[in-house]
Chain A
Amino acid sequence: MSKKLSDEDDVRTATAPFQAEFPYERAEEAQVTRREFCNFLGLTSAALFVATGGFAVKAVIDARETESFSAAQITGAEALAPNTSLNFNYPTERDSAILIKTANGEYHAYGQKCTHLACPVYYSQDHQRLECPCHEGAFDVATGNVLYGPPPRALDTIEVEIRDGQVWATGRKPTGGEHAS
């Protein structure tokens, strides 16, 4: 009694004699062996190690590259009304920052990326604090410290100076931990 020929709907149980001449054994092809599974986990482990090392190296390189800052004038800051804010970019065009002129006339500037998940923070005039709209975090306008919410650390501080009536950004100080040596 001949066996039934398999068709496309029955590829996993192909048993016809001519199929033995085909170099692939479908049952074995569909099977993932213990060794193959272990090799896959080994490759995953190697990939995770490479990713960990890559992140660490990139962080150290980035830290060394941003150690020196050149002063830059913040255009339009001198005309800023009290209890308002101004967005600018410092130290590079890719780094957004926010300058706040408080109600008593003091200037404070911070990196605009929230330390939680990098959403841009904004100045809340009603509450006189920096707020993150994504996950309801808030920062103190005078120090950049976390007032409440999920952010794990203070905002990066941008040092500002008044030179001949103009407001200049002179440096950026990360406040999340120690600097790379």
Chain B
Amino acid sequence: MLVMINIAQLWILAATVDAALARNYSVLMPLVIASGVCLIITVSIIRWWRPVSRRKTSTGYIRTQSRSNETENH
């Protein structure tokens, strides 16, 4: 999902450059707003989305699991 949003933002950036070169100024603001909405969605996903199976952060969960496994092996 995040990768898809990044690709969409890349497309918006390309459209902005094209509109700027074409002096089509009326579409610049909607493009900037669209890119901003994409950024807000991205930040929202990163900040609040968690996998259903995870109770902590994914990083902490993985490291805790791997260390406990190593202890068991030793």
Interface residues of A (CB under 8 A from B): 27-28, 33-36, 38-39, 41-42, 44-46, 48-49, 51-53, 55-56, 58-60, 63, 115, 152-153, 174, 176-180
Contact = CB atoms under 8 A, between A and B. Distances in A.
B27 to A, nearest CB: 9
Contact of B29 (A56, A58, A115): A56
Nearest to B51: A34
Contacts of A178: 23-26
A53 B25 CA distance: 13
Contacts of B19: 59
A51 B13 CA distance: 7
Dominant secondary structure at the A interface = helix
Contact of B20 (A42, A46, A58, A115): A58
B25 A60 contact: yes
A180 B23 CA distance: 8
Given A28-B63, A33-B59, A48 B9 contact: yes
A38 B2 contact: yes
Contacts, number: 103
B23 A174 contact: yes
Interface string B3-22: 10110011011001111111
Contacts of A53: 32, 35-36
Interface bin, chain B? 35 or more
B58 A35 contact: yes
A63 B24 CA distance: 11
Contacts of B23: 59, 63, 174, 176-180
B59 to A, nearest CB: 5
B46 interface: yes
Contacts of A33: 58-59, 62
A45 B32 contact: no
